[in-house]
Amino acid sequence: MKTLNSNIPEIIKNHKRIAVVGLSPNSMRPSNGVARMMIREGYEVIPVNPGHDEILGQKSYPSLSDIPGEVDLVDVFRQSQYVADIVDEAIKKGVKSIWLQLGVIDEDAAQKALEHGIDVVMDRCWAIEYH
């Protein structure tokens, strides 16, 4: 049985292809700083932001379902009210894990993801946990 916040070290170590939902091109935004760190550390970052064609030199996609191929981890930098739809899309995409950043909380959506065999990390910062 998958559990909430239980596999953080394994997720960081083994999930190398990361879709960052809500990635901002603004270097002052937390999503941008975390994504830059992921890239520096050798992760493949896939921006998901319908308002931009490219972010951090990477092609940006309007949604998870538009990303070609598999995605290991979905890192969410959107408000909590959008999480349920993102989880539904992640389930359809067959992702392995979902990471909800600090302040992003949706217990029902997290439970739904867990029930579909997806690891969930909620209300944690990837960059902080990486260190």
Whole-number pLDDT of residue 3 = 59
Phi, psi of 60 (to 5 degrees): -100, 140
Closest CA to 129 of 37, 67, 46: 37
Residues 6+ apart with CB under 8 A from 89: 63, 64, 65
Looking at the chain, the whole-number percentage of residues with pLDDT higher than 70 is: 98
Q: Treating both helix axes as pointing N-terminal to C-terminal, what angle do 107-115 and 83-93 enclose, rounded to 10 degrees? A: 10
The total domain count for the chain is 1
Whole-number pLDDT of residue 2 = 58
Domain that holds residue 113: 8-130
Which positions of the chain have pLDDT values less than 50? 1
On whether residue 1 sits in a domain, the answer given is: no
How far, in Å, CA of 51 to CA of 19, rounded?
16
The CATH number linked to 14 is 3.40.50.720
pLDDT tens by residue, 88-120: 999 999 999 999 999 999 999 999 999 999 999
On whether residue 2 sits in a domain, the answer given is: no
Whole-number pLDDT of residue 7 = 85
